[in-house]
Amino acid sequence: MKTEKSQELANKIRQTAVEMVHRAKASHIGGALSMADILAVLYEEVMAIFPDNPSDPRRDRFLLSKGHACTALYAVLAHKGFFPLKELESYSLDGSRLLSHTSHKVPGIELSTGSLGHALGVACGMGLAAKRQNKSFHTYCMVSDGELNEGSNWEAILFAPHHQLGNLTLIVDYNKIQSFGTVEEVLNLEPLHSKFIAFGWEVLEIDGHQHSDILKALKNSKIDTARPTVIIAHTIKGKGVSFMENKLLWHYRSPSDQDLEIAKREIQP
Amino acid sequence: MRTAFIEQLILEARINPKIFLLVGDLGFSVVEPFAKEFPDRFINVGIAEQNMTAVASGLAMEGYTVFTYSIANFPTLRCMEQIRYDVCYHNLDVKIVAVGAGYAYASLGPSHHATEDIGMLRTIPGLTIASPGDPLEARRLTTLLSRNPGPAYLRLGKAGEAVVHPAEPEIRMGKPVLVKDGKETAVFATGSILKYAHDQLKDEKRDWALFSFPVIKPIDGEALLPVFKKFNMIICIEEHQLSAGFGSAVLEKANDLLQAGLLEKFPHINRVGIQDEFISIAGTQDFIRNRAGLVL
């Protein structure tokens, strides 16, 4: 499978996201970088998108539940032409619609998020509507690992297989670090794979930075039409910038001028 | 009221193919006729109100008018954030229906006393709050909400409430409904305690007016102006905490009218409601209402 284009897009997402948090002195770059490759493959190779008409009914739906990592989503949408790249410079600044948690006022964004554990249930509703109306769009929902602490997610994880939502794909950005420590320390999710199996999901486990793996899994997730698919994507928080990788600190810290310079150099393809 | 609601919803669903009903594993012997007639537009989501509200949001985003149905505080307080952030912030066509307003489930205890819901919900931008006083109002409100897009909360009593109005009243958003004219004092009631108020005013010594408030958010302040001007005393009665409830909303409106220069003096407003307490003894609805001091 050719992945040059998605690789190139992932680099652009990373570059742009780091610039955005630097300019706005904002947080949450680590979790934006960990999902950049998955977003790149989704928007470059997998989803039906209509940048000139973001609400086209034929579009595939993408819901980012981990709304704090919105810089990567804003970046991919701007790079795909949903709105001008220039607007990204206003991120989180006075009067901007680019809030520092995902906002549905921005073209291409289905659902505002920021409070964790909300999007998967909404995605279930969209998948259910597609089934009931015989529509062929697919719904994707990306959650963080930490937000699987939320009970609301497990209500939805029960619901989706019961209603045979084969048109729903859940992606877990499993970077193993949440706000206050590692997932293992705070509230262990393991064995995550077998939990989803027990709940009735089709489970795929991948390296969330290998584009060919990501593409294959996303394509496979459409095959089983009777069961929803979860892609457990093993990722690295801060991926692509050496001093941010696997560091809890970069859930919070905003890059300095010097950090930005190094980061941009490292992200070059 | 719940029967009036479901019968009316079925009538609406026959003419509007977008109406969808989600229930949280409650509504036994109530919702079955809807489920039977519209199996493609009905789901029992299980005992999972957060997910029920989120699924309703997703369905509404795809074009449905979705009713969520459960009892007491479960479809409201239990999933308050889904109501605020998913339904209301996205301005979705979701109607939250709770059976068991106030002390309708009196003996079941505070878990089932819906006595803080108005206060908690009415601060949320864009959410209409409807609180029928009798089954005829419940019918009219079901139609009104079905045909007006946007988030709403329908606060139903339970079953077997007596009819107060002689015929289905016309209900306009935010406006009170005159039940009985009178002198000196006007009683403002919302919810099924309307019947109690109505019975009290049959006493010849109390030639008071009675207004029902089937919609308590929004309240049309200007519709209250002539009432404030005509009566020396207003008594608001509700089966809810005094704090942040219906009477508070009336006080706020009176103050707004005064500040806007539309009223010359602040009206005398007496409020009857729950005095910042939980009731943890068993009893009938009437007994608990009495115990809580909900008397005229």
DSSP result, A139-203: EEEEEESGGGGSHHHHHHHHHHHHTT-TTEEEEEEE-SEETTEEHHHHH---SHHHHHHHHT-EE
**pLDDT per position as a tens digit, A53-83:** 999 999 999 999 999 999 999 999 999 999 9
The fold of B2-156 is Rossmann fold (3.40.50)
Confidence of residue A223 (pLDDT cuts 50, 70, 90): confident
Do A125 and B48 lie within an 8 Å CB cutoff? no
Chain B residue with Cα closest to A123:
B58
pLDDT at A224 (0 to 100): 73
Output the pLDDT for position B243.
97
Query: Which residues of A fall within a CB distance of 8 Å from B59?
Result: 125-126, 128-129
Q: Which of A83, A92, A106 is nearest to A23 (CA)?
A: A92
Instruction: With beta carbons under 8 A apart, name residues in chain A contacting B89.
Output: 112
Three-state secondary-structure class, residue B180: strand
| Statement: residue A269 has pLDDT above 70 | no
Q: What residue spans in chain B does CATH classification 3.40.50.920 cover?
A: 177-291
CATH 3.40.50.970 domain span(s) along chain B: 2-156
Restricting to A residues 71-100, those with a Cβ less than 8 Å away from any Cβ of B are none
CB pairs under 8 A between A and B: 88
Q: Is the dihedral of CA A57, A43, A69, A108 positive or negative?
A: negative
State yes or no: pLDDT of A1 exceeds 80: no
Confidence of residue A170 (pLDDT cuts 50, 70, 90): very high
Which CATH number does the domain B177-291 belong to among 3.30.70.60, 3.40.50.920, 3.40.50.300, 3.30.420.40? 3.40.50.920
> pLDDT of A4-17, one tens digit each?
999 999 999 999 99
Chain B contact for A58 (CB, 8 A cutoff): no
Which residues 6+ apart lie within 8 Å of A54 measured at CB?
A82, A107, A108
Per CB-CB distance under 8 Å, the chain A contacts of B43 are: 128, 163
**Domain A4-267 -> CATH class:** alpha beta
- Domain residue spans of chain A: 4-267
A178-to-A39, A41, A101 alpha-carbon distances in Å:
20, 24, 17
> Digits of tens for pLDDT over chain B (296 positions)?
999 999 999 999 999 999 999 999 998 899 999 999 999 999 999 999 999 999 999 999 999 999 999 999 999 999 999 999 999 999 999 999 999 999 999 999 999 999 999 999 999 999 999 999 999 999 999 999 999 999 999 999 998 999 999 999 999 999 999 999 999 999 999 999 999 999 999 988 899 999 999 999 999 999 999 999 999 999 999 999 999 999 999 999 999 999 999 999 999 999 999 999 999 999 999 999 999 999 99
Find the DSSP H helices in chain B.
2-15, 32-37, 49-61, 80-81, 117-121, 135-147, 193-200, 221-230, 246-259, 285-291
